[in-house]
Amino acid sequence: MKPISQETFYQEVQKYWKTVVHRAKAMDLLLLHELLESYRQFFNTFQAGDYYFLLFDIYQGKIAEASPELFSVLGYEPKAMDMPLFMENIHPQDRAYFLNFERLVTSFFNTVPLDKIADYKVQYDLRVSKQDGTYVRLLIQYFLVNYEDRNLYHSLHVHTDITHLQKQGQPSCSIIGLHGAPSYYNIQDQDRVTSGNELFTVREREVLKGIVEGMSSGEIADRLCLSIHTINSHRKNILAKARVRTPLQLIKKLIDKGWI
C-alpha cells in the first residue's frame, strides 16, 4: 500500500471513529482497573510476549489510560504516550493498513446489533517504533467495553510484542467472533471479509473435525461413509485453503485464527 504522510494520518482515522460515537462519556476508571486485574493473571500465563493494556476514548480519539507495562514494550512512560505519538510511530509502510483496518472495523460495528457487540474482538498486527527508534511488531487486540445505543465510547486494548514470532510479513486484520459468533479473517483487501465457516465447506469442516481429533484418513472415511480417496482430496483442499503444507501447520493455524 502507498505510504501516508503524517500530516493527514491522524485526521483521516478520526473520520472513521466519529462514525460510531456522537458524544463523549466518561469511563469508570476504578471499574477499569478491576477489569484489568481480572485479565492480568490470564494474560501473564497465555500471552505470546510482553504486553500492555490501554483504554481508548473513541469520541476524543485519545488514549484515556495506559498500563505501566507500556514502558517495557515501547520505552515510553504511559503518561507520555498519546494517540498522535502512537500513530506517528507506526511504520510508514503500515499506516495505510492501519487506516484500512480501522475503516473496516468501524463499518462492521456500525452494522452489529447492540446486544451482539460484546461477541466480537478485533485483532491486527503493525510495526511500531520504540522510543529508541527500533521497530517491534505489535499484535493489537481490542474489544468494546463502554457503549449504548449507537455510541461506542471506549475500547480496551491489549498490545503484545510478537517480534520474536513474526518479524516480517504483510499486516493482517481479523474480527474474532466470541460465544459462537462468526469470525472474519484477513480483511486487509478492500471490504472483503472471510469467516472460518465460509472458508471451508460443510463436508470439509467434517473432515477438519476428524483431523483435529487426530484421526487418520481411513478413520475419517469410516465415520463419514466416504472413500479414502475422497477424504484425501478434502484434506488437500483444506490445506490449500488454509495456505499451509502440513497437518501440524494446519492445527497451529486453526488455533491462531480461532477456527476451532
CA–CA distance, 52 with 71 (Å, rounded to integer): 9
Taking residues 176-205, report their average pLDDT.
Answer: 73
Q: What percent of the chain shows pLDDT beyond 90?
A: 57
pLDDT-based confidence at residue 190 (cuts at 50, 70, 90) = very low
CB proximity list for 119: less than 8 A, separation 6 or greater: 177, 178, 179, 180, 181
Residue 42 predicted with pLDDT over 90:
no
Contact 89, 122 (CB under 8 A): no
Which pLDDT tens digit goes with each residue over 123-134? 999 999 999 999
Amino acid residing at 220? I
Calculate mean pLDDT across residues 86-90.
Answer: 96
Task: Compute the residue count for the chain.
Answer: 260
Instruction: Judge whether 207 and 224 are in contact, CB under 8 Å.
Output: yes
User: Is pLDDT larger for residue 66 or for residue 255?
Assistant: 66
pLDDT-based confidence at residue 242 (cuts at 50, 70, 90):
confident
Cα–Cα distance, 66 to 134 (Å, whole number)? 21
Q: How many C-beta atoms lie closer than 10 Å to residue 3's C-beta?
A: 12
CB-based contact 112:120 (threshold 8 Å) = yes
Query: Would the pLDDT of 253 be above 80?
Result: no
Q: Which helix (H) or strand (E) holds 98?
A: helix 95-109
List, in order, residues 6 or more apart from 67 with CB less than 8 Å away.
36, 52, 53, 54, 78
Residue 234's H or E segment, with its range, is helix 228-242
pLDDT digits (tens, 9 = 90+) for 193-219: 455 566 788 888 889 888 887 889 999
pLDDT of 189 over the 80 cut:
no
Share of residues in the chain with pLDDT > 70 (%): 91
The grid coordinates listed for 105 are: 472495523
- Contacts of residue 109, defined as CB under 8 A and 6 or more positions apart, other chains included, come to 20, 117, 120, 144, 152
Instruction: Report the distance separating Cα 143 and Cα 153, nearest Å.
Output: 11
Q: Mind listing the domains of the chain with CATH numbers? A: 6-177 (3.30.450.20), 200-257 (1.10.10.10)
Q: How far apart are CA 136 and CA 51, in angstroms?
A: 12
Question: What pLDDT, in 10s, does the model give residues 135-168?
Answer: 999 999 999 999 998 899 999 999 999 999 988 8
